[in-house]
Structures are given as structure tokens and as C-alpha cells.
Amino acid sequence: MTATDTTARRARDLGLELPGTPGPFNAITDVPGVEVGYRTLIEGDGALEVGRGPVRTGVTAILPRGRDGVGRPCAAGWYSLNGNGEMTGTTWIEEVGEFSTPIVISNTQAIGACHTGVVEWINRVHPRVGRQWLLPVCAETWDGYLNDINGGHVTPAMVGAALDAARSGPVAEGSVGGGTGMNCYAFKGGNGTSSRRITLGGTTYTLATFVQANFGARKELTVTGHAVGRRLDVPNPMETDDWFDRDLTVPAGSGSVIAIVATDAPLDAAQCKALARRVPLGLARTGTTGSFFSGDIFLAFSTANDRAGSTSFGPESLPDNEIETRAVLPWYRMNLFYEAVVHSIEESVLNALLVNQDMTGRDGHVSPALPHEALLNLLRG
């Protein structure tokens, strides 16, 4: 792959039977206000030369309330299935149950550049917000199998460009943005997204998910309940080649997954955390058992109850009185949202695998795409 092709068919386009009713884009942007932007780097080939490439990486930016809504908090909660990874800003989310910055996802060694890039962008676009302290949400998964991960190719300027590019509408999937160099179940992985509509009391809400998928062993892969990983006759160079340092052995299934859950339903922080805790159930439907060497970290947020931030400084952001009143969904109505998380996460992972193609990266390392026809033949059989 020398350029990103985002025209490949998604899971539903292939006829896979998946539960639930998606929104118009079947993407995280079905939640009103959410915007997504990318910057993708695919450059060079051949032997690794740190600082020069080959480069297979990028940046994904998610704006929960869009460009104009930075600084206005969303109720939020996070959960770590396995902590061999990073998501900054989570201690503040744990403290106050909300956040008000963009979300940026890239590769492991780019966390610093992402953090700096978000701070610089907010100070440029929203200088009033930038006057307070900033604790951006920056997350990562490891793309060193294909990418010159120590080469410093992700820069703060690139992060700013991804944020500037954020839009509503259809979302590109597969090998774009932060997902460019990622692998999933020893196939080409990357970004995937999906959404579900939920109707309660005459009101229709949207819940949607986004994953940067870089996890799972080939033998685990399961599609719509069918164990297909062991049966697909596709070479598996990631788990057979000595692609780590020769004195380091990493088991199959290593990698990571970042999952973002968004909804416009009125939820509080505890309910958002409950949604984040359901993400592993969706991942498990695709086969993973949760490798120790995989950083699996999840964030859920609600865009309801839009207001100025009570945790912000400045008279223009302070509430008019000492009491805040917010609508909150009753806990006994949460089951449909739990179900939507599980089903949407499953579909997001499948989209990340299916909207993809073979990629060759550093030192000739190959990541094969999940073959559509071979998969469909197994499912039919």
C-alpha cells in the first residue's frame, strides 16, 4: 500500500448479519456535534533507518462537540481492561467526571507530540480556553511492526492539522490517521466505527463507537460467532517472523486497542463509566481474550447537558448560581445502551479489518488484509 484506499466494503456491505439499527453514517459522527479528522503518513520502503522511515503512521482527532465546542465539558468515564498502554487526561476525568478537550489518537511514541499539538491548537483556535490549564486526552497503540516508530514523524503541527480537518459526515476507516500502521488479529487493522439508534419514551438517542484496533492473535479471530482465524489460509508473518529485537519475545495477541464511546443520551459520569466497562464484551465477540501485552483502554462520553464548564476559570465560564441542574437517564434504562455498546464495538472492529488492504512497511514487514471472499466462503460453509 502506498496510499490509503477507504472505498472498500464495510461489514454490512458484505452482507454480514449484525444486530441493531445504525445511524445514517453508521459512524461516531452520527452523534450530533462529533467531528473526526485525520492526518496520514505513508512514505518510503525498504530497510528501517530511524528518522527517515519507512513511515506508516498518522493522527486521529475526535472533537466531541466539534470545533466550536472546545472548552464545554462532556460527562465522561473511562475503563482499562489492561493497562499496557496510555491515555492521558484520565486522572482528571476520574476526579470530576468530565472533560472538555479534543481526543487525539496516534502511535505509542507520539503521545508527547500529540499532547503538545492539542495545547498549541487550543491556544490558537480557542485562546480563552487556553488560558486555563489543559489536560488533553491523548491515546496510543503501537505501530512499530510497520512504522519507523522512533523517528519522530508525528509532530505537533500534524496534530493541529488533524484537528483543523475534523468534520461531521462519513468517517474513513482502515489504514488512516492513527490507525495507519496498526494490525488486528495478525491482519491489517486500524480504525473502525459504527453506531446504533435507541428509542426510549418517544425519544431517539444515538450511541456510537470508534476503535483504533491493534490487538488479537490470528487463532482468536471470530466473525459473527464463527471461529475463522484458524481456518483462513493466509500467511501470518507477524506471528512467525522474528520482527522484534532478537533478544525479545512477545506472544501472539500483543498490541492494543483504544475505544471511544459517544452518545447524546443524558448520562452522568458513573453511567459513562458503565458504558466503557461494556467495551470488552464487544471485543470478546470478535475473539480476543485480552493479552497481557495489549493496552486496552476505553473512554465513554455524553454530549447531553451542554453548558459552560464549572471546572474552568474565568467569569464567562462560571455558572450563575451555586447549583447545576442536569437531566440524567434512569439507571434502569441503561440496558439498551449496554447492548448498543457491545454490538457497535463488534461492528467497529470488523469494519477496521474489512475496510483495508495489504500493507508493506519497515524492513519489508507485511500485514495482509483480511480476504473478503475467503471469509465469506467460511461463513457460508
**Structure confidence at residue 5 (pLDDT):** 60
- pLDDT band of residue 237 (cuts 50, 70, 90) is confident
**Inside any domain, residue 130:** yes
d(CA 352, CA 163): 21
- pLDDT band of residue 309 (cuts 50, 70, 90) is low
Q: Determine the average pLDDT of the residues in 337-348.
A: 98
For the annotated catalytic residues, the residue numbers are: 256, 294, 296
Q: Determine the average pLDDT of the residues in 104-133.
A: 96
**Structure confidence at residue 320 (pLDDT):** 60
Number of domains in the chain: 1
Question: Which CATH number belongs to the domain containing residue 262 in this structure?
Answer: 3.60.70.12
**Structure confidence at residue 307 (pLDDT):** 83
**Structure confidence at residue 308 (pLDDT):** 80
**Inside any domain, residue 265:** yes
**Inside any domain, residue 2:** no
Is the pLDDT at 16 greater than 80, yes or no?
yes
**Inside any domain, residue 381:** no
**Structure confidence at residue 241 (pLDDT):** 43
Over its C-alpha atoms, the chain yields an Rg (Å, rounded) of 20
- Each residue's pLDDT tens digit, 132-143: 889 999 999 999
**Structure confidence at residue 318 (pLDDT):** 55
**Inside any domain, residue 347:** yes
**Structure confidence at residue 25 (pLDDT):** 98
Q: In the predicted model, what is the mean pLDDT of the chain?
A: 92
- Residue 261 phi, psi dihedral angles, 5° rounding: -115, 130
- Each residue's pLDDT tens digit, 173-206: 999 999 999 999 999 999 999 999 999 989 999 9
* Whole-prediction pTM: 0.94
**Inside any domain, residue 46:** yes
Q: Determine the average pLDDT of the residues in 250-273.
A: 92
**Inside any domain, residue 287:** yes
**Inside any domain, residue 323:** no
Give the percent of the chain with pLDDT over 70: 91
**Structure confidence at residue 269 (pLDDT):** 98
Which residues on adjacent β-strands are paired with residue 192?
211
- Each residue's pLDDT tens digit, 66-98: 999 999 999 999 999 999 999 999 999 999 999
Residue 150's domain comprises 28-307+328-376
Instruction: Tell me the three-class secondary structure of the chain, residue by residue.
Output: CCCCCCCCCCCCCCCCCCCCCCCCCCCHHHCCCCEEEEEEEEECCCCCECCCECEEEEEEEEECCCHHHCCCCEEEEEEEEEECCCECCHHHHHHHCEECCCEEEEEHHHHHHHHHHHHHHHHHHCHHHHCCCCCCEEEEECCCCCCCCCCCCCCHHHHHHHHHCCECCCCCCECCHHHCCCEECCEECEEEEEEEEEEECCEEEEEEEEEEEEEECHHHCEECCEECCCCCCCCCHHHCCCCCCCCCCCCCEEEEEEEEEEECCCCCHHHHHHHHHHHHHHHHCCCCCCCCCEEEEEEEEECCCCCCCCCCCCHHHCCCCCCCCCCCCCHHHCHHHHHHHHHHHHHHHHHHHHCCCCEECHHHCEECCCCHHHHHHHHHC
- pLDDT band of residue 247 (cuts 50, 70, 90) is very low
